[in-house]
Amino acid sequence: MNTPVSGFSKLSKSQKIDWLLSRHLNESETAREVITRYWNQDVPLQELHDGFSENTITNYYLPYGLAPNFLIDGELVTIPMAIEESSVVAAASKAAKFWLNRGGFKTEVLGTLKSGQVHLNFEGLNSEMEAFFAFAKASLLQSLESINASMKKRGGGIQDLRLVDKTKDLKGYYQLHATFETNDAMGANFINTSLEQLAMTLRLKASEFKGFSTDRPEVVMSILSNYVPECRVKVSVSCSLDEIGEVNGVTGREFAEKFVRAVNIAGIEPLRAVTHNKGIMNGIDAVVIATGNDFRAVEAGVHAYAARDGKYRSLTNARIEEHNFVFEAEFPLALGTVGGLTSLHPLSKLAMQILGQPSAEKLMRVTAVAGLAQNFAALHSLVTTGIQAGHMKMHLVNMLEQIGANDEEKAQLKKDFEDKTPSFSGLKESLAQLRIAADQS
């Protein structure tokens, strides 16, 4: 049991499953059935899925849903969302409906630049490093011409290259900081290839430079950054307080004041801000996953942006201006609509068709809207009825499955809990009573 496996990656899928069952699952044929049940019967499609990752044995499915009726910059949009959490798609759809006749969502792309760094170590004089960069910069940029050629034709490519002195933070630490425009591509491979070329050229030019009195700069690593504050989109909704109308027995102004207060709490209290922003990411991640983009990169970049001033805080802002309610946010979103999984996964391609084959900028706008809508819906519930009653009702189907109710019992329990907040204990007790009554009849 404690012997390491050798050559696992070279085993066939069936051999990997056999090894798994013998090593970890007590030769369970039930486990084998679960694994094979999720294979796609379309063999070429399954082979495509197998190629996305390594050591694959099966597929892990997520629900793929639709949130319709989003009015975005005057255009009606249906947003595809892939997520396993109850209430997210329903909440987004509810927010879309609320704002549909109140002006809809307005967006503005504030920038599309991404960056990467060649990280350097140099123990010599700062003046020598600056002189070297002035000597080498033209050659560094020249070395990227072939890599940048096709991207430049579309108006992209490297936009700037500068030397950054970080020696006050870490002894001997410098960066070559490069910014890129990648158009509709996510651009990770393009940026990393460019950075590695810069590193190669830097080594070459360092060997030619005569101005170093000690050792030459050493390349530590070359890698893009998933922090993209220059690739940012603004999204907002607004309406008059009268247009809000009565909300759960309170006036539009009272609702707006409480809503603004809730957002302000997330602006100063990290304990609340983390959960507040997690709700935003429910909407953003669902669109990012559905469109085949990298949700881990987006998550990391967005949360870093939430702490950009040294304190983690809310990503959204709300205010009352005279007689108007305004709710808005800015999100850093480096997304792509061509290349990678977006061009390979059939459901990602379908998502792009649903969205009308958007540009990267339009996808940024739509994704930002999903985040703001999700936050609006969550706060709407939190400051009125509370979030748990609605969430647990949406979660009811899962709970009924977990307690082992059959179809007839599920139907009766849904009816019994129509006006109640369900809980596992309450459902189990009601199920037991149903079965006792059935046995006695």
429: tokens are 């007790």
Is 303 known to be catalytic? no
- For 110, 261, 304, 330, 429, the CA distances from 309, given in Å and listed in that order, are 19, 21, 10, 15, 51
Cβ neighbors of 317 (< 8 A, separation 6 or more) are 263, 267, 327, 328, 329
In the set 18, 50, 73, 85, the catalytic residue is 85
Is 85 known to be catalytic? yes
339: tokens are 């290349």
365: tokens are 């706008």
Number of other residues whose CB lies within 10 A of the CB of residue 365: 24
Whether the CB-CB separation of 398 and 405 falls below 8 Å is answered with no
In the set 276, 362, 380, 391, the catalytic residue is 391
Q: How far apart are CA 100 and CA 93, in angstroms?
A: 10
Is 380 known to be catalytic? no
How would you class 87 by CB atoms within 10 Å of its CB: exposed for 0-12, middle for 13-18, buried for 19 or more? Answer: buried
- For 67, 226, 404, the CA distances from 297, given in Å and listed in that order, are 24, 6, 38
Q: In which region does residue 350 sit, left (phi positive, over 0), alpha (psi from -120 to 50) or beta (all else)? A: alpha
In the set 278, 345, 349, 395, the catalytic residue is 278
In the set 181, 184, 285, 294, the catalytic residue is 294
Number of other residues whose CB lies within 10 A of the CB of residue 76: 12
Is 278 known to be catalytic? yes
Q: How far apart are CA 419 and CA 100, in angstroms?
A: 28
Distance of CA 135 to the CA centre of its chain: 41
Active site residues: 85, 278, 294, 391
